[in-house]
């Protein structure tokens, strides 16, 4: 949905003398705004549709190194962004978010054990988003039932709880938000205990 005042501009252009010039100027402004929105991945007259759902996510791990690769064969624009999320809970209650920008591949290091030395597993999902729209539906590694991944290695560390990403609430409990699902988030003032 591009910005369009075609009827109004055509009316102005048909007014002798000044109308033609004014119509030409307004048409130039309209075209400039629409072109800028298209190149930024934003919609001048609203919100662009959510990015299409990616086709798949492959994850491989060894000795603490984790490699994730997104498959996306959709028709996309150059301003598409990808996000990878991981959590020790398959429900992704507080996922950690890795913004990949235009890349569909990411290497990360994760601890194979928690603070107590117990082997830990992580679950992964990914999605795409245009800056001016909502995130696409996440795709889990393993399909509808997420498959756990053991990073391996001897590093012991329980990760600090996630605080999320973008304009999502800072409690980390709104995974799948990418840049955010709302344009602005009000200040989140913490009350002293």
Token couple for 179: 């840049």
Q: What is the predicted pLDDT for the residue at 20?
A: 81
Q: What is the predicted pLDDT for the residue at 48?
A: 82
pLDDT < 70: residue spans in the chain? 1, 190-193
Token couple for 176: 């799948």
SS3 153: coil
Entry pTM: 0.84
d(CA 28, CA 34): 10
If we measure between CA atoms, which residue out of 108, 112, 106, 88 comes closest to residue 160? 88
Token couple for 135: 């995130």
């Amino acid at each position: 949905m591009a910005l369009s005042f075609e009827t109004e501009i055509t009316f102005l252009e048909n007014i002798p003398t000044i109308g033609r010039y004014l119509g030409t100027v307004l048409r130039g402004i309209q075209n400039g705004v629409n072109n800028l929105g298209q190149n930024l991945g934003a919609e001048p007259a609203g919100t662009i549709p959510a990015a299409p759902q990616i086709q798949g996510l492959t994850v491989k791990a060894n000795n603490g190194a984790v490699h994730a690769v997104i498959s996306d064969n959709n028709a996309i624009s150059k301003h598409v962004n990808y996000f990878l999320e991981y959590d020790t809970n398959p429900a992704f209650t507080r996922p950690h978010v890795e913004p990949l920008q235009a890349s569909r591949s990411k290497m990360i290091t994760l601890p194979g054990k928690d603070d107590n030395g117990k082997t830990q597993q992580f679950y992964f999902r990914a999605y795409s988003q245009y800056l001016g729209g909502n995130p696409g539906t996440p795709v889990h590694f393993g399909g509808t039932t997420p498959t756990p991944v053991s990073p391996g290695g001897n590093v012991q560390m329980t990760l600090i709880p996630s605080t999320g990403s973008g304009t999502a609430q800072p409690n980390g409990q709104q995974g799948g938000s990418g840049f955010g699902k709302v344009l602005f988030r009000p200040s989140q003032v913490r009350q002293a205990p």
